[in-house]
Amino acid sequence: MKRKYFGTDGIRGRVGAAPITPEFCLRLSNAVGRVFTVDGRKPKVLIGKDTRISGYMLESVLQSGLISAGADVSLLGPMPTPAIAYLTRTLRADAAIVISASHNPYYDNGIKFFNAQGSKLDDDTELAIEAAMDAPLYCEGSESLGKASRISDAPGRYVEFCKSAVPNGLSLRGLRVVLDCANGATYQVAPQVFTELGAEVIVIAAEPDGFNINDQCGSTHTEALQQRVLAENADLGIAFDGDGDRVAMVDADGALLDGDELLYIIARDRQRREVLHGGVVGTVMSNLGFEQALARLAIPFSRANVGDRNILAQLQQRDWQLGGEPSGHILTLDLATTGDAIVAALQVIVPIIEQGESLQSLARGMDKFPQILENVTVAEPGKLSNDERLLSEIASHESKLADRGRILVRASGTEPLLRIMVEGQDEQEVGTIAQALAEHAVRLSAH
């Protein structure tokens, strides 16, 4: 069945416009409370958020909807998305709600969910919630209403979890690190984790005001971090996104490393330590140079569709533990149930400490192919992506590239965009093909 409200990662949009309105979120949380009530037992639901101004409003509304349905609510306050997944498991909650729009600007927000295992909801549960939303709003009698409480030690619990993700006794003493917290959910916990592990920490973008989340900072805007790493003569820099599930890193020379390069370092280190369980799952967007670098190490590699949900499904199907996207969403299933930026960064730092190597030298075994991305605004991207005329044009360019590159054209799942990616050994050729396909798509869309 087609879902009406849920997208690839919960429900997201501009605050004040459907579906991110108080009325919708009240109906949503009321439905969640009913769906998670089993045999009359009150469910326990956690609510956490990032630092957006709208989080105050949505937190109150969601809390009200849950309590009216008889659910007990525990408020976590501003916490990274992976922290909320972890706390759902350790606090034995039935579900959790995350109020966040990840790397989007402050005026967007979203609602994401975890089940009792700290994993994303399955399709059947999402469909059940949508079905419950079609019923009238329900309120228990006073004797059966839920209660709300606040968990004051949530940050400390998560800090200890992150520290446990590195080998016992490993110290970051002597490592000079710049952290960019994106004025988001990691602003409290990330500096504490790295400081307590012994690193010398310089922090930027850790003064959220409700409006500056992801604003020229974080994993999608790393320029300030790159400059600060050079200015501070730091060993490396780490950038998180607004909700703390994506990471990018910067080496001592100010060069940016994306998710593919970080995954390569983690995979190679795990192979060295003989703890790599199976292979690595990337996505259709993973760089061809990454795939070839893993092949030279005889590490199996598989591509999933874009989205951590699809990566997770393949990892579980293959019984592997490591996967991720170029965006820096990295899954280490032996440590966490969802993408965790702090944990992923620590996995990259382990070989730096244990082998005495720099971030630059650890990444040298991988040579990225030039990759050009074109986003074309069209009315019906899904329809255009299957247009025979466009497919024929793509095939023509693919035959010219042969085994020197690849082309991926797909409709965005969240915006009216056709995403065109061309990758190959020759950057000029790649750019020419990407531009030609973009222009062709615009012409087809206009007729």
Q: List, as one string, the DSSP characters of 225-292.
A: HHHHHHHTT-SEEEEE-TTSS-EEEEETTS-EE-HHHHHHHHHHHHHHTT---S-EEEETTS-HHHHH
Co-location of 206 and 329 in the same domain: no
Co-location of 273 and 249 in the same domain: no
Average pLDDT over residues 267-276: 96
Is residue 264 domain-resident? Answer: yes
Given this model, what pLDDT does residue 29 score? 98
Is residue 114 domain-resident? Answer: yes
Q: Does residue 308 carry a pLDDT above 90? A: no
Co-location of 15 and 141 in the same domain: yes
Helices (H), 135-258: 154-163, 189-196, 223-231
Q: Domain count of the chain?
A: 4
Co-location of 134 and 44 in the same domain: yes
Residue 44 corresponds to which tokens in the numbers above? 């326990």
Is residue 161 domain-resident? Answer: no
Q: Does residue 3 carry a pLDDT above 90? A: no
Given this model, what pLDDT does residue 1 score? 65
- In this prediction, residue 244 has a pLDDT band, given cuts at 50, 70 and 90, of very high
Question: Cα(132)–Cα(150) distance, rounded to whole angstroms?
Answer: 27
Q: What is the CATH number of the domain that holds 49?
A: 3.40.120.10
Average pLDDT over residues 93-104: 96
pLDDT tens for 316-338 read 999 999 999 999 999 999 999 99
Average pLDDT over residues 217-241: 98
Is residue 359 domain-resident? Answer: yes
Contact 202, 177 (CB under 8 A): yes
- In this prediction, residue 248 has a pLDDT band, given cuts at 50, 70 and 90, of very high
Residue 267 corresponds to which tokens in the numbers above? 């995979």
Question: Cα(301)–Cα(290) distance, rounded to whole angstroms?
Answer: 9
Stated as kind and residue range, the H or E segment containing 46 is strand 44-49
Given this model, what pLDDT does residue 422 score? 95
- In this prediction, residue 400 has a pLDDT band, given cuts at 50, 70 and 90, of confident
For the beta sheet containing 247-251, the strands, ordered from the edge strand earlier in sequence to the opposite edge, are 200-204, 176-180, 236-240, 247-251, 256-257
Of 222, 240, 255, the domain-final residue = 255
Question: Cα(422)–Cα(432) distance, rounded to whole angstroms?
Answer: 9
Is residue 439 domain-resident? Answer: yes
Co-location of 193 and 222 in the same domain: yes
- In this prediction, residue 2 has a pLDDT band, given cuts at 50, 70 and 90, of confident
Of 321, 352, 368, the domain-final residue = 368
Co-location of 361 and 396 in the same domain: no
Average pLDDT over residues 210-237: 98
97 burial via Cβ count (<10 Å: 0-12, 13-18, 19+): buried
Co-location of 394 and 351 in the same domain: no
Co-location of 33 and 130 in the same domain: yes
Given this model, what pLDDT does residue 266 score? 98
Is residue 163 domain-resident? Answer: no
- Known catalytic residues? 102
Q: Does residue 85 carry a pLDDT above 70? A: yes
Co-location of 276 and 349 in the same domain: yes
Q: Does residue 414 carry a pLDDT above 70? A: no
Co-location of 387 and 437 in the same domain: yes
Q: Are strands 417-424 and 405-411 parallel, antiparallel or unpaired?
A: antiparallel
Is residue 160 domain-resident? Answer: no
Range of the domain at 221: 172-255
Average pLDDT over residues 74-101: 98
pLDDT tens for 424-446 read 989 999 999 999 999 999 999 88
Of 152, 180, 202, the domain-final residue = 152
Co-location of 219 and 139 in the same domain: no
Co-location of 37 and 95 in the same domain: yes
Dihedral, CA of residue 199, residue 203, residue 209 and residue 215, to nearest 10: -120
Q: What is the CATH number of the domain that holds 383?
A: 3.30.310.50
Residue 17 corresponds to which tokens in the numbers above? 């416009």
Average pLDDT over residues 286-304: 95
Given this model, what pLDDT does residue 125 score? 96
Is residue 304 domain-resident? Answer: yes
